[in-house]
Amino acid sequence: MKIVGTNAPEVERALLAGELSCPRCGGRLRPWGHARERVVRRRGGEERRRPRRSRCAGCSRSHVLLFEDSLLRRRDGVEVIGAALAAKAQGQGHRRSATALGVPASTVRGWLRRFTRWAEPIRSFFTVLAHSLDPMLDAIVAGGSALGDAVEAVAVAARAGARRLGPRPPWSFASAASGGGLLSNTSCPWADRH
Ligand SMILES: [Zn+2]
C-alpha cells in the first residue's frame, strides 16, 4: 500500500514516468493493473473507487495506490474519521459524532479507542514532524487529555505542512504522513516503537 495524492491523472502520470517510489525499499514503482473496487464513505456520500495497483521493480512487491483522503483498511474517508477525533477532543461523545457524521456509533467508538490507545506515540510523531517542517515553531502546549494532545499535534503539523508544502486538508496530511496507518496497529510509523 502506498499513499498518493488525490489527483488521479497526476498519479497516473507519475506512475508511468517512474516517479513513484516503493514505500519499503525505495525502488521504482511500475503500473500493475488495478485493485478491487472499494467504497469510500465521504461526507458527501459514498464513492466507488478502483485504485491503481503498482509493482516495485526492486523488491517485486505490489502496492495498491491509496488516495490520501482515506486510511488503510477503513471504509470511511479520513476527513470523516478526523472530524470525530476533533469533536472528541472538544469533549463531544461518540454518539453525537456518529449521528452528525451518519456513521454507526460502534464504528466511531472504535476509531476513538484505537486513536486513544496510540495517542502518545501519535502525539510524539506529529510533534517531531511539525518541528522538522517548521524549526521556528513554538513548543506545542499540552492541554490535558491524551487524545486532545494528539489531535492538537496533528493539527499543528498539518498547518506547518501547509505553510511549507502548500495547502492540503489536515487529515489528508495526517494520512499521508502516517503512510495511511493512522489507525492501524501494524502499518503506522510508530508500530515498532511500542
Ligand atoms: Zn520495493
**CA 178 / ligand 1 centre spacing (Å):** 18
**CA 28 / ligand 1 centre spacing (Å):** 7
**CA 8 / ligand 1 centre spacing (Å):** 22
**CA 44 / ligand 1 centre spacing (Å):** 35
Give the integer Cα–Cα distance in Å for 74 and 49.
13
- What is the reported pTM? 0.92
Cβ 182 vs Cβ 188: under 8 Å: yes
Closest CA to 150 of 180, 179, 130: 130
**CA 133 / ligand 1 centre spacing (Å):** 26
**CA 179 / ligand 1 centre spacing (Å):** 15
Q: Which residue has the cell 518541528?
A: 131
pLDDT recorded at residue 139:
87
Written as one string, the DSSP assignment of 65-116 is: EEETTS-TT-SB-HHHHHHHHHHHHTT--HHHHHHHHT--HHHHHHHHHHHH
**CA 29 / ligand 1 centre spacing (Å):** 8
pLDDT tens digits along 96-106: 999 999 999 99
pLDDT in tens, the chain (194 residues): 899 999 999 999 999 999 999 999 999 999 999 999 999 999 889 999 999 999 999 999 999 999 999 999 899 999 999 999 999 999 999 999 999 999 999 999 999 999 999 999 999 999 999 999 999 999 888 887 999 999 999 999 999 999 999 999 999 999 999 999 999 877 777 766 54
Give the integer Cα–Cα distance in Å for 123 and 55.
33
